């Protein structure tokens, strides 16, 4: 599988443009994030293995396709990851859910972990890490380090926007983890924000500043 997948579907691109617009309200941003997360979830789960289950339709028995193996695990990097998580859970309500709390030290831009709770048997699950912004890549790399130590082997990283710096950092640290994103932007600014980006994803979805 390729390391970086851009989800170029017109619905995704249109919704992303409205989310980038500084005039979009908190309510609008949140609604669009939920909608776009359903579309991104569709892409990131494309390679889930299928098996068949015997069912009875009203007409006859049938060996019908169902998803194989243990329920997948969604891991949200707090706090902005929760915006993507909520939408994906509507599509995959039986998924197991974990949280990793990391904040970015404003001086060093390095991640500092303050919370972690992840599902059991990560080695037997597809593990999808969600965080809307892949900026420096420091938080994503730290989260995936932690998940690999907990046993995860089959990982995906899902974000809304990625910076080239973050993609390069991920490729270097975790070349086995495919990244799915709606857009690859130009660069990071001096504060580690993605340009042109959409601002602070957490602030925009929660209405904080």
Which stretch, 45-53, 57-65, 111-119, 187-195, contacts ligand URA (CB under 6 A)?
A: 187-195
Cα–Cα dist 47/39, whole Å: 15
> Which of 28/192 has CB closer to ligand URA?
192
Active site residue 185: no
Q: Does an H or E element contain 152, and which?
A: none
Which stretch, 6-14, 34-42, 81-89, 194-202, contacts ligand URA (CB under 6 A)?
A: 194-202
> Which of 45/140 has CB closer to ligand URA?
140
**Which stretches within 45-137 are classed as H helix?**
81-91
SS3 of residue 2 by DSSP: coil
> Which of 111/197 has CB closer to ligand URA?
197
Residue 12 touching ligand URA (CB under 6 A): no
Strands (E) in 43-153, as ranges, are 50-56, 61-67, 73-78, 96-104, 111-117, 126-130, 133-134
Query: Residues 21, 123, 189, 203: which is the catalytic one?
Result: 203
Residue 197 touching ligand URA (CB under 6 A): yes
Among 12, 118, 130, 133, binds ligand URA (CB under 6 A): 133
Active site residue 131: no
Cα–Cα dist 107/114, whole Å: 17
Residue pair 141/173 in contact (Cβ under 8 Å)? The answer is yes
Query: Residues 31, 79, 104, 171: which is the catalytic one?
Result: 104
Residue 135 touching ligand URA (CB under 6 A): yes
Cα–Cα dist 201/207, whole Å: 10
Cα–Cα dist 175/173, whole Å: 6
Residue 36 touching ligand URA (CB under 6 A): no
Binding site for ligand URA (CB under 6 A): 80, 133, 135, 192-194, 197, 200-202
């Amino acid at each position: 599988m390729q390391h970086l997948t851009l989800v170029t579907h017109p619905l995704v691109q249109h919704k992303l443009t409205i989310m980038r617009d500084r005039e979009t309200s908190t309510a609008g941003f949140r609604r669009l994030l939920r909608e776009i997360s359903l579309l991104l979830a569709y892409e990131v789960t494309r390679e889930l293995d299928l098996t068949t289950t015997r069912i009875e339709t009203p007409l006859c028995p049938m060996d019908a396709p169902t998803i194989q193996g243990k329920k997948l695990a969604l891991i949200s990097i707090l706090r902005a990851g929760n915006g993507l998580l909520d939408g994906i859970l509507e599509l995959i309500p039986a998924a197991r859910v974990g949280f990793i709390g990391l904040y970015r030290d404003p001086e060093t831009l390095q991640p500092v972990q303050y919370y972690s709770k992840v599902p059991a048997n990560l080695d037997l699950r597809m593990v999808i890490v969600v965080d809307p912004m892949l900026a420096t890549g420091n938080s994503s790399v730290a989260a995936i380090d932690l998940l690999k130590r907990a046993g995860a082997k089959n990982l995906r990283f899902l974000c809304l926007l990625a910076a080239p710096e973050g993609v390069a950092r991920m490729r270097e640290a975790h070349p086995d983890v495919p990244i799915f994103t709606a857009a690859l932007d130009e660069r990071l600014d001096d504060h580690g924000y993605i340009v042109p980006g959409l601002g602070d994803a957490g602030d925009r979805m929660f209405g904080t500043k």
